[in-house]
Chains A and B, each alone.
Chain A
Amino acid sequence: MIITTKDLTKKFGNLTAVNKLNLEIEEGEIFGLLGPNGAGKTTTISMLCTLLKPTSGAAKVNGFDIATQPSKVRSSIGIVFQEPSVDDLLTGRENLEMHAMLYKIPREIRKKRIDEVISLVGLEDRADDITRVYSGGMRRRLELARGLMHHPKVLFLDEPTLGLDPQTREHIWSYIKKLSEENETTMVLTTHYMEEADMLCDRIAIMDAGEIVVLDNSANLKKKVGGDIVLLKMDEPNLERIRKLSFVTEAEMKDGTVQIKIKDVSKNLQKLLCKVGEIHSVEVRQVSLNDVFIHYTGKEIRSGEEEGGFWERVAHAEVNR
Chain B
Amino acid sequence: MIDGDAIYAVWLREVKVYLRERERVISSFVSPILWLLVFGSGLGASVSLQGVSYQTFIYPGVLVMSLLFTSIFYGIYIIWDRKLDFLKEVLVAPVSRTSIFVGKMLGGCTDVMMQSLILLILGLFIGIPITPLVFVYSLLILLLTSFAMVSLGLVIGSNLKNQEAFNLVINFLIWPLFFFSGALFPVSNLPSWLSALTYIDPVTYGVDALRGAILGAQSQAFPVYVDLSVLIIFSLVMMWLGTISFGNMQQSK
Binding site for B on A (CB under 8 A): 12, 42-43, 46, 49-53, 71-72, 74-75, 77, 79, 81-87, 89-90, 94, 98-99, 101-104, 130, 146
The answer to whether B250 and A51 touch across the interface, beta carbons within 8 angstroms, is: yes
Alpha-carbon separation in the docked complex, A104 to B12 (Å): 15
Give a binary string over B90-103; 1 marks a CB under 8 Å from any A CB, 0 the rest: 11111110000000
Q: A51-B92, A74-B93 are in contact. Are A46 and B6 (CB under 8 A)?
A: no
Give a binary string over B123-160; 1 marks a CB under 8 Å from any A CB, 0 the rest: 00000000000000000000000000000000000000
The answer to whether A89 and B89 touch across the interface, beta carbons within 8 angstroms, is: no
Chain A positions within 8 Å of B6 at CB level = 101-102
Q: A43-B253, A53-B250, A90-B13 are in contact. Are A74 and B20 (CB under 8 A)?
A: no
Residue in contact with B94 in the complex, picked from A43, A46, A75, A85, CB distance below 8 Å:
A75
CB distance from B239 to the nearest CB of A (A): 21
The answer to whether B9 and A98 touch across the interface, beta carbons within 8 angstroms, is: yes
Chain A positions within 8 Å of B17 at CB level = 87, 89-90
Write the chain B residue with the least CB distance to A73. B94
Residue in contact with B16 in the complex, picked from A75, A89, A103, A104, CB distance below 8 Å:
A89
Interface residue B8 (Cβ < 8 Å from any Cβ of A): yes
CB distance from B68 to the nearest CB of A (A): 24
Write the chain B residue with the least CB distance to A75. B94
Alpha-carbon separation in the docked complex, A86 to B90 (Å): 11
Alpha-carbon separation in the docked complex, A94 to B12 (Å): 10
Interface size on B, residues (CB 8 A): 27
Give a binary string over B1-34; 1 marks a CB under 8 Å from any A CB, 0 the rest: 0000110111011001100110000000000000
Binding site for A on B (CB under 8 A): 5-6, 8-10, 12-13, 16-17, 20-21, 83-86, 88-96, 250-251, 253
Alpha-carbon separation in the docked complex, A71 to B16 (Å): 27
The answer to whether A85 and B250 touch across the interface, beta carbons within 8 angstroms, is: no
Residue in contact with B96 in the complex, picked from A51, A71, A72, A86, CB distance below 8 Å:
A71
Alpha-carbon separation in the docked complex, A103 to B95 (Å): 8
CB distance from A119 to the nearest CB of B (A): 22
CB distance from A199 to the nearest CB of B (A): 24
The answer to whether A85 and B93 touch across the interface, beta carbons within 8 angstroms, is: no
Alpha-carbon separation in the docked complex, A85 to B91 (Å): 12
Alpha-carbon separation in the docked complex, A103 to B253 (Å): 25
Alpha-carbon separation in the docked complex, A76 to B243 (Å): 24
The answer to whether B12 and A98 touch across the interface, beta carbons within 8 angstroms, is: yes
Residue in contact with A101 in the complex, picked from B9, B16, B83, B253, CB distance below 8 Å:
B9
Write the chain B residue with the least CB distance to A94. B16
Alpha-carbon separation in the docked complex, A76 to B85 (Å): 20
Chain B positions within 8 Å of A77 at CB level = 92
Alpha-carbon separation in the docked complex, A321 to B251 (Å): 44
Q: A83-B85, A94-B16 are in contact. Are A101 and B8 (CB under 8 A)?
A: yes
Residue in contact with B85 in the complex, picked from A71, A82, A103, A104, CB distance below 8 Å:
A82
The answer to whether B92 and A101 touch across the interface, beta carbons within 8 angstroms, is: no
Query: Which of A53, A90, A101 is most buried by chain B, counting CB atoms within 10 A of its CB?
Result: A101
Chain A positions within 8 Å of B83 at CB level = 83
For this complex, 8 residue pairs linking A to B, each with C-beta atoms less than 8 Å apart, are A49-B92, A53-B250, A83-B83, A85-B89, A86-B86, A99-B89, A102-B95, A103-B93
Residue in contact with B91 in the complex, picked from A51, A87, A146, CB distance below 8 Å:
A51
The answer to whether A103 and B13 touch across the interface, beta carbons within 8 angstroms, is: no
Residue in contact with B86 in the complex, picked from A43, A53, A87, A101, CB distance below 8 Å:
A87
CB distance from B253 to the nearest CB of A (A): 6
Q: A74-B92, A74-B94, A89-B20 are in contact. Are A46 and B253 (CB under 8 A)?
A: yes
